[in-house]
Amino acid sequence: MDDYIKYSSTRGGDQSLSYEEVLLAGLARDGGLFMPEKWPSFSHSDLKLMKGLSYSNLASEILKPFILPFLSEDDLSNICQDTYSSFGKDVAPLKELKENTYILELFHGPTLAFKDYAMQFLSKAFNIALEKKGKRAVILGATSGDTGSAALEAFKGKENVDIFILFPNKRVSEVQQKQMTWINEEGAHALSVKTDFDGCQAIVKDCFEDLNFKDRTSLSAINSINWVRLLPQIVYYFYSALRVGSPEKEVVFSVPTGNFGNILAGWIAKKMGLPISRLICGSNQNDILTRFFANGTMKRKNVSPSYSPSMDIQVSSNFERLLFEINGRNTNSVKKQMYDFKVNGYFEINQDQLKKINRSFSAFMISDNNTLDIIKNTYIDHEYMLDPHSAIGYGAVQKAVEQKIISNDTPIISLACAHPAKFPQVIKKSIGILPKFPIHLNHIMNQKENFKIIQPDLKDLQKYITRKMRK
């Protein structure tokens, strides 16, 4: 029992916690994020044996080292089967746009976004852990669009969970908002906050850092600050790479990136032995990550609303996990940098550290006008419709090829993180037609909305949660 993977905070507080403890805690008590104390790894021969596995069976194999013995192999297998059985025959389809360049479609879950791949798993994992301990939990999350709808869909109707989702007022698409606010079930709360996503995320973190409130409400997180929310996202990197030639071939991935969780899952897959030659980070005009990978300085600016609202972020929370590794797991360095960033909006790494991470990462900014052009040209050239976030990922691929950072000789997989129907007005602005709505989305769009508009005030939010949570 003692040989399982343990987890510790990036800031040095909580040490050697179990899978169940980090699942239910969400954020460490010192404000840091949990990381495994060691990385499992798969050999070339291990990867070859994985080639023929179904998505569900592969998920079970990838997640097993992180989770056993707290779930049995049978329980983990059953959760994976149950989670992905509703995602269609091909859980994560690969579409070849041109030779050696693929789109990985991650929008075949219930809310048409990549967050479903993790959130559906997470809700089942939560349920098992809470039932085992005879506990209830209050889940609090912030969303820039897709996390909230995926979380509310996954956790609605759960007797042992109350879920509160904060989204920035008037800064998500109409479809994204409706996917959250049509839900009208006890224990499920959508809150529109008069701030941007970073403001929502800051309030969530402040709630977790108020340890008295956290303990009193049994507070937990479903954003990718929760380590177990991140885990299932690793799976589709393995799944898609194995289908285009790994482990015999190295693969390039391009990821539209806001909060850094999705691309970090790719970096973790690389740490675990998947032969990824480069991870391309695509940013919109809120390009804090692109600027960081260029000069090693993380400097916050004001958030600028864009056609890709899920990426309208200037505080990429998950970056702290990579920073932990950049600093050689020196928690004092991480703590100081995170303090500087919170107080001054600024921190930097040295040039040797920057050179090291740039062996794995490249980053590109795609403007709103570029995004419209990419959607249009991809539709004309390939009869394929990208949503604005996915267009940024594909646009970053094009820039990387132009600058000879990557070669078309290497398989390139660009992640499509949302269905174009979630952003119909942007698609219409680009190509003059509206995307076809899936039937269940048409049903949602005709439902009454249920949500509350609130100010970005910590104490008011805490009072609201205390009043609304079921005892």
Instruction: Provide the pLDDT for residue 144.
Output: 85
Q: What is the CATH number assigned to the segment(s) 94-110+228-431? A: 3.40.50.1100
Q: Among the options 115, 124, 158, 335, which is catalytic?
A: 115
Instruction: Provide the pLDDT for residue 203.
Output: 95
Is the bond preceding 69 in cis, omega lying within 30 degrees of 0? yes
Residue carrying the six token digits 């589709």: 236
Instruction: Provide the pLDDT for residue 2.
Output: 63
Could you report the per-residue pLDDT of 243-279, keeping only the tens digit for each? 999 999 999 999 999 899 999 999 999 999 999 999 9
Q: Among 63-67, 157-161, 351-355, 401-405, name the one with the lowest average pLDDT.
A: 157-161
Could you report the per-residue pLDDT of 266-322, keeping only the tens digit for each? 999 999 999 999 999 999 999 999 999 999 999 999 999 999 999 999 999 999 999
Dihedral sign, Cα of residue 101, residue 224, residue 6, residue 3: negative
Is 115 tagged catalytic?
Answer: yes
CA distances from 28 to 10, 34, 156 (A): 9, 7, 25
How far is Cα of residue 148 from the mean position of the Cα atoms in its chain? Answer: 11
Q: What is the pTM of this model?
A: 0.95
**Is the separation of the CB atoms in 288 and 282 below 8 Å?**
no
Instruction: Provide the pLDDT for residue 224.
Output: 85
Buried residues in 216-228 as b, exposed as e (16+ CB within 10 A): ebbbbbbbbbbbb
Could you report the per-residue pLDDT of 20-69, keeping only the tens digit for each? 999 999 999 999 999 999 999 999 999 999 998 999 999 999 999 999 99
Say yes or no to pLDDT of 222 above 90.
no
Could you report the per-residue pLDDT of 407-458, keeping only the tens digit for each? 888 999 999 999 999 999 999 999 999 999 998 898 999 999 999 999 999 9
Say yes or no to pLDDT of 1 above 60.
no
What residues does each domain of the chain span?
94-110+228-431
Could you report the per-residue pLDDT of 162-215, keeping only the tens digit for each? 999 999 999 999 999 999 999 999 999 999 999 999 999 999 999 999 999 999
Give rounded-to-5 percent helix, strand, coil for the chain.
45, 15, 35
Say yes or no to pLDDT of 76 above 90.
yes
Helices (H), 93-243: 115-133, 146-155, 174-181, 197-209, 211-217, 227-243
Question: Under 8 Å CB-to-CB from 245, ≥6 apart: which residues?
Answer: 251, 411
Neighbour tally for 109: CB within 10 Å: 25
Say yes or no to pLDDT of 396 above 60.
yes
Is the bond preceding 247 in cis, omega lying within 30 degrees of 0? yes
